[in-house]
Amino acid sequence: MELSFRLKKTADFIFDYLTNVQKFVSVHPVIFQIDKTGNDRYLVYEKLKFGFIPFSFTYPATIEKNNIDKIVIIRATVMKVTKIVIKFVLITENDKTIIEENIKFKSPLPVKFIMQRIFRKQHCQLFKNIEMK
């Protein structure tokens, strides 16, 4: 799945929000806590709503970052069965930054379509929140 966003913020500013977990939590629409468990390893706490029913869960994740090329890769395993890899590439264009996002899902469950809808909505909100900072 490919997404693209254009923000009136510098690549350094956006990179900081994607790699500083406390800042990331402050702008993410469903992640409410991230605990560091080791070098570049984290435990992510998320709360989704299915209709009126809130559903909370945790999952392990890693964050790889390349400050020079402005690339961030987040790898997570949700519910121990669904592997997600998200790659953000930040490209400076005049006074804006383009975020090219590639999301890959691997799961034995038929969740790809649902997850694509959820991620599209969440990440639109995520980058709107970053731009408002």
Contacts of 110 (CB under 8 A, 6+ apart): none
pLDDT for 87-105, tens place per residue? 999 999 999 999 999 999 9
Q: Which pLDDT does position 52 carry in this prediction? A: 85
Q: Provide φ and ψ at 122, rounded to 5°.
A: -60, -45
Q: Which pLDDT does position 103 carry in this prediction? A: 97
- Domain containing 73: what range? 2-132
Residue with the two structure tokens 């690549």: 11
CATH at 69: 3.30.530.20
Per-residue pLDDT for 39 more than 80?
Answer: yes
Q: Which pLDDT does position 50 carry in this prediction? A: 76
Per the CB < 8 A criterion, the answer to whether 73 and 87 are in contact is yes
Per the CB < 8 A criterion, the answer to whether 24 and 34 are in contact is yes
pTM for the model: 0.94
Per the CB < 8 A criterion, the answer to whether 107 and 114 are in contact is no
The angle subtended at Cα 119 by Cα 116 and Cα 125, nearest 5°, is 145
User: What's the total number of domains in the chain?
Assistant: 1
Per the CB < 8 A criterion, the answer to whether 84 and 78 are in contact is yes
